[in-house]
């Protein structure tokens, strides 16, 4: 069985911060119903992909559901007679995580920048500025957009009862060649069109991994589509 880990979200708090930042929500006044719905969609996707990290996300989903129920009930009051916000502990955890995440990203950026600089001693002629950043290939496409499109493709595969067990002859290298051929032929192709003829779940999973590898290698780029549950692959020109 293939196991996939989405390193883009380091935990449930990381995913919640992504939703808050994407939708420009007030972290001190989180719309629990809206954010719980999207969080549960992501948890269902994790279950479909048999990810090892599902436990932490399921626990957070239970916490969100509990807060949602408490929001519908009359508010409790503290010793001072003030109403207790059921979201208070979650907001505190998010703010704490956000602070450490920002500090961690700052240190990571400084480390990455310093590695690109090599100054000769006692010579003022060297340029001491960091090199310019490379263009980002993911044009307005977030990790959550990729996950939703992948989930949509998985749901489109009909379940087939199989009595004979046999190994599926498919590899990441084969699917890399498959994707490159399609993109080379059409220059641009929608993801759901690319996988429309795939009927085996394992082949679809391997194809998605190959797509991420090609993006990482700067051989293809991804951009948003007019279809909310889809995205477009396009050919990256040489140089």
Mean pLDDT of 59-70: 83
Per-residue pLDDT reduced to its tens digit, 14-57? 888 888 888 888 888 888 888 888 888 887 777 666 556 567 77
Q: What is the pLDDT of residue 2?
A: 33
Pair (129, 167) in one structural domain? no
| Helix ranges (DSSP H) in the chain | 12-22, 32-48, 54-72, 88-115, 143-155, 172-186, 191-194, 201-216
Task: Provide the mean pLDDT of the chain.
Answer: 76
Q: How far is CA 134 from the centre of its chain?
A: 21
Pair (174, 191) in one structural domain? yes
Pair (30, 80) in one structural domain? yes
CATH number at residue 178: 1.10.10.580
Give the residue among 17, 49, 87, 104 at the shortest CA–CA distance from 9.
17
Task: Please answer whether residues 209 and 172 qualify as being in contact, where contact means their C-beta atoms are separated by less than 8 angstroms.
Answer: yes
Pair (105, 196) in one structural domain? no
Pair (13, 129) in one structural domain? yes
Mean pLDDT of 158-164: 64
Pair (128, 138) in one structural domain? no
Walk across the sheet containing 220-224 and list its strands: 138-139, 220-224, 231-235, 188-190
Q: What is the pLDDT of residue 1?
A: 33
Number of domains in the chain: 2
Q: Record the tokens describing residue 100, joined without a space.
A: 């450490």
Pair (238, 138) in one structural domain? yes
Lowest mean pLDDT, pick from 42-51, 65-74, 85-94, 230-239: 42-51
* Containing structural domain, residue 188: 134-239
Pair (125, 162) in one structural domain? no
Last residue of one domain, picked from the residues 133, 153, 181: 133
Last residue of one domain, picked from the residues 105, 133, 161: 133
């Amino acid at each position: 069985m293939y196991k996939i880990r989405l390193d883009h979200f380091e935990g449930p708090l990381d995913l919640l911060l992504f939703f808050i930042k994407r939708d420009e929500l007030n972290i001190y006044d989180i719309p629990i119903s809206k954010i719980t719905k999207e969080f549960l969609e992501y948890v269902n996707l994790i279950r479909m992909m048999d990810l090892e990290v599902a436990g932490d996300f399921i626990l957070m989903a239970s916490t969100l559901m509990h807060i949602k129920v408490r929001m519908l009930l009359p508010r409790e009051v503290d010793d001072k007679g003030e109403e207790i916000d059921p979201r208070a502990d979650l907001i505190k955890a998010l703010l704490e995580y956000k602070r450490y995440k920002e500090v961690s990203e700052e240190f990571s950026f400084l480390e990455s920048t310093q590695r690109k600089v090599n100054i000769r001693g006692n010579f003022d002629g060297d340029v001491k500025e960091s090199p310019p950043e490379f263009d980002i290939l993911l044009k307005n496409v977030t990790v959550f957009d990729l996950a939703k499109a992948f989930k949509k493709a998985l749901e489109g595969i009909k379940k087939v009862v199989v009595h004979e067990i046999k190994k599926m002859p498919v590899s990441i290298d084969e699917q890399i060649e498959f994707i490159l051929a399609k993109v080379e032929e059409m220059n641009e192709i929608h993801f759901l069109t690319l996988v429309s003829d795939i009927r085996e779940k394992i082949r679809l999973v391997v194809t998605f991994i190959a797509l991420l590898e090609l993006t990482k290698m700067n051989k293809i780029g991804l951009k948003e589509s007019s279809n909310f549950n889809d995205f477009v692959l396009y050919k990256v020109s040489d140089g």
